[in-house]
Amino acid sequence: MIENVGYLALIFSMLLAIFSASAAWYGKTNNDERWIKSARNATITIFFLLTLSSTLLIVLILQNNFEIEYVWRVSSIDMPTYLKISALWGGQAGSLLFWSWLLSLFTAAVMYGQWGKQRELIPYALIVISFTQIFFLFISLVVENPFAKLDGIPLDGNGLNPLLRHPGMIIHPPMLYLGFTGFVVPYIFAMAALMAGKLDDSWIRTTRRWTLVAWLFLSLGLILGGRWAYDVLGWGGYWGWDPVENASLIPWLSGTAFLHSVMIQERRNMFKMWNMFLVILTYLLVIYGTFLVRSGVISSVHSFAESAIGPLFFAFIAFMFIFSTYWVNKRKDMLASKDKLDSFLSREAAFLYNNFIFLAILAIVFFFTNFPIVSALFTGEQGFVGPPVYEKALSPLFLVLLLLMGIAPLTMWHRTMIKRIGLAVLWPAIVAALFAVGLYFTKIVTIWSALLGIWIISLSTVLTLFEFYKGTRARMRRDRNPFSAFAYVMAINRRRYGGYWIHLGVLVMAFGIIGIEMFQQETQIHMTVGDSVALGEYELVFQGVERYAGADDLIITEATADVYHKGKLVEVIHPQTLLYTRSGQPMTIPDVRTTFWEDFYVLLVNWEPTSASSATIRIYLNPLVNWVWAGGFIFIFGTMIAAWPDKKEKRLLKRA
Amino acid sequence: MKIFRLPISILMGLFLFGMASASVIAQGSTPPPPDGEVREVTDNEVNSIAREVYCPVCESTPLDVCQTQACADWRDLIRTKLENGETRQDVYDYFAEQYGGRVLATPPREGLNLLLWIMPVAAVIIGGFFFSRFMKNLRMAGGDGKEDEIETVETAVVPPSSSPIPQSDDEYIAQVERELSK
């Protein structure tokens, strides 16, 4: 019964989405406001219907109704309630429904917020958003019905994939999906502007905050995903260039390029075509990313997502590509702004260099990610591209980007003298070089490529910090208190200083990445009680193993070990291996001695024989890994500063 | 005019330099010398080789941390091979021959795989070529031949109507710019 209501709600949502697109079109061509209003009401109703549908699916999971295939797949009787709720996005059909629901939520919010302001764009926005909604609802209705029934009624379900039973994994997918669906909003307004032939920058100003918020969620999703991998996957790392990780990184890259280049249009009214291209590209890559995650076309650790929805996604991407290209082509005269560059050394040029590097990185990641398919097409054998290949190709580009991050803010609009930049960079460059040389002579870092990286990152860090100093000092002429001057400067120009905070976060992360990627140490050894093993300045003394039953179908094997740092006992740790007996899936949960400088990351190796008095222990020493997370925090903090609602701006927008 | 070619050439130079230095990172530890007899092999030796191998079944999980039985067997195989005096490269060659290049983190540089090395460099060089031409065209369109002398403060140029930034903000930026130009 419940499942029929849920399915019916999906059918009505689909019909309403079709109606909305048609009514908006009809209303616009016949200049009949009533039809447009009706179209808007339809999209808002879709939100309520999909909320109903998603809630009913959660109810079915909570009721342990294993007659429903999806419930049987992702849930089990003993699973705790919070996991049952998160099971909504723990499987294929549910996460697609969740996608549609988020999109309908954003649509409703946009219609509520922009209805009075963007009258010309709204009808077209309704059409484009409905296209996307129709596609996702079609998949839910026809291919991946979350309410589909099994023939019999199983006694218990499979339970959520154990890898997903982690706090990080519960919020990581919603964050990514919020980021993905969030990027649909700038796209629909861009397309609406094209269709309406209203190509001033009002679509950009309308969606600027949306873009930032979408980007915030996508970044948050990426960082949380990394943290989850570090905590759960038990390989001492956080990023493995897995196709599914890349699927969310790729739209993030084009979105980041867009966030930068859009400032040129706002400021100089240039590069309209280019921004249009970037926003369309980001949208298509979002759909492609969802496709990659959901289709299992490139096998990966996330391959639980295999299904036959691939061709449909491909067709939809092709359709939206043609649709977008048609409108861009139709309006190309209006998009052709009189772009001119006063100098190769200007803010606008710096943004273009930034865009070039971001797109180069994007092209390489995209090519590598799809290489298995390319290879299968041409040689019949599916290829594989491992992390070393990515790292080799991308690290020089990332270094250039980090350098640009420090230097670009020194440029000014129109033109800047090279002498001025040279003067501004000279001392920071010397300070950074002294730092690198110091590291070399104290033998802390002796690898040349690492020293080059450290030099560039330190230089950009000094330059970024100096930006904060300059702003505060300028304000201090009026306000002598440095703290309130600093706060004032942050508050009055949030996007600029939010941006600097973000840069700072990235630089801190970059230090961390160099630390763990280039200086990670590891060792693995079979130990009996009382044995000890040394790694770096640490020593681990093995104390034994216990095995006991955990919640649900879980069997936990837990080792105990003492960790000594420079001869002093600092922590007793308990790395575990878990076995979910129903699915037979094992997991290794590390225990970590965490400090500012490094993580002493210990794993109980479950594929080697383990007894009460002996086990195989694997230890990673991860220098600066916590800087990656700390940088992530700063990054998110900066994005929030930049995206925080601004009353003054709202007033100005209203007037415009 | 000439001096303004600098940023792109700096970028390119840095890129090439970075490429060269990044290849330094890739070099691993030297393999143990073959001595003809069975010798003691540590877990660490096995892992250092296994971390560069990916089994075809559990893709995206390197062999040194993979939890399946198949991977455990492969690790034992690596150990046996090392005990018999084979080198790191021998082991990689064996796996590539038996299971195809896809099991190696860095696939063999042959056939279609060469694209993995050519494409990034080509993308940057060809992309860079078009990008620099694009930039030059833009520069031509806006050239007034006086780029070295004039230094424009942004607030002086942007007409108020095209900028949503409130007055107080402009004032603040102007102040920062004055600070800067000192």
Tokens for A507, please give them. 């630089």
Cβ within 8 Å, pair B44-A522: yes
B3 lies within 8 A of chain A by CB: yes
Provide Rg for chain B, Cα atoms: 28
SS3 A396: helix
Across the interface, of B105, B135, B151, the residue whose CB is closest to A386 is: B105
Least confident range from A59-73, A112-126, A521-535: namely A112-126
- Whether B164 shows a pLDDT value over 90: the answer reads no
Please tell me the distance in Å from B110's CA to the nearest CA on chain A: 12
pLDDT higher at A471 or A304: A471
| Cα A301-A305-A306 angle, rounded to 5 deg | 105
Q: B178: which chain A residues are within 8 Å (Cβ-Cβ)?
A: 474
| Residues in contact with A8: Cβ distance below 8 Å, sequence separation at least 6, in sequence order | none
Query: Which residue of chain A has the CA closest to B103?
Result: A384
Residue A69 and residue A64: Cα distance in Å, rounded? 11
pLDDT computed for residue B1 by the predictor:
39
Query: Average pLDDT over chain B, rounded to whole?
Result: 69
Please give the average per-residue pLDDT across A367-396, as a whole number. Answer: 87
Q: Which of B168, B167, B160 is nearest to A488 (CA)?
A: B168
**Residue A598 near residue A612 (C-beta atoms within 8 A):** no
Mutate one of B66, B165, B167, B170 to test the A interface: name it (highest A CB count within 10 A): B165
Q: Is A567 left (phi over 0), alpha (psi -120 to 50) or beta?
A: left
- Whether A579 shows a pLDDT value over 80: the answer reads yes
A533 lies within 8 A of chain B by CB: no
pLDDT computed for residue A296 by the predictor:
60
pLDDT computed for residue A635 by the predictor:
95
Per-domain residue ranges of chain A: 1-160, 162-341, 419-518+629-643, 519-626
B106 φ, ψ (degrees, to nearest 5): -105, 105
B127 lies within 8 A of chain A by CB: yes
DSSP of chain B: -GGGGHHHHHHHHHHHHHHHHHHHHT--PPPPPP-SS-----HHHHHHHHTTBB-SSSTTSBTTT--SHHHHHHHHHHHHHHHTT--HHHHHHHHHHHH-GGGBSS--SSGGGHHHHHHHHHHHHHHHHHHHHHHHHHHHHH--S-TTT----HHHHS-GGG--S-HHHHHHHHHHHHHHT-
Q: B5: which chain A residues are within 8 Å (Cβ-Cβ)?
A: 344
- Whether A39 shows a pLDDT value over 90: the answer reads yes
Report which secondary-structure segment, H or E, holds A501: helix A494-519
Query: Average pLDDT over chain A, rounded to whole?
Result: 88
Please tell me the distance in Å from B82's CA to the nearest CA on chain A: 17
| Residues in contact with A230: Cβ distance below 8 Å, sequence separation at least 6, in sequence order | A236, A237, A238, A625
Least confident range from A486-495, A603-612, B36-45, B146-155: namely B146-155
DSSP A574: -
Cβ within 8 Å, pair B67-A417: no
Q: How many pairs of residues across A and B have Cβ atoms under 8 Å apart?
A: 236
pLDDT computed for residue A585 by the predictor:
78
pLDDT computed for residue B54 by the predictor:
86
- Whether A542 shows a pLDDT value over 60: the answer reads yes
| Cα A116-A120-A121 angle, rounded to 5 deg | 90
Tokens for B84, please give them. 């018999």
Helices A122-138 and A310-330 cross at an angle (nearest 10°) of: 160
B116 lies within 8 A of chain A by CB: yes
B125 lies within 8 A of chain A by CB: no
| Residues in contact with A483: Cβ distance below 8 Å, sequence separation at least 6, in sequence order | none
Question: Taking the CA of residue B16 as centre, how many other CA atoms within 13 Å lie in the half-sphere pointing to its CB?
Answer: 7
Please tell me the distance in Å from B67's CA to the nearest CA on chain A: 6
Residues within 8 A of B (CB atoms), A 630-649 only: 648-649
pLDDT computed for residue A314 by the predictor:
86
Q: Which of A470, A344, A342, A341 is nearest to B177 (CA)?
A: A470
Please tell me the distance in Å from A383's CA to the nearest CA on chain B: 5
- Count of CB atoms situated within 10 Å of the CB of A118: 22
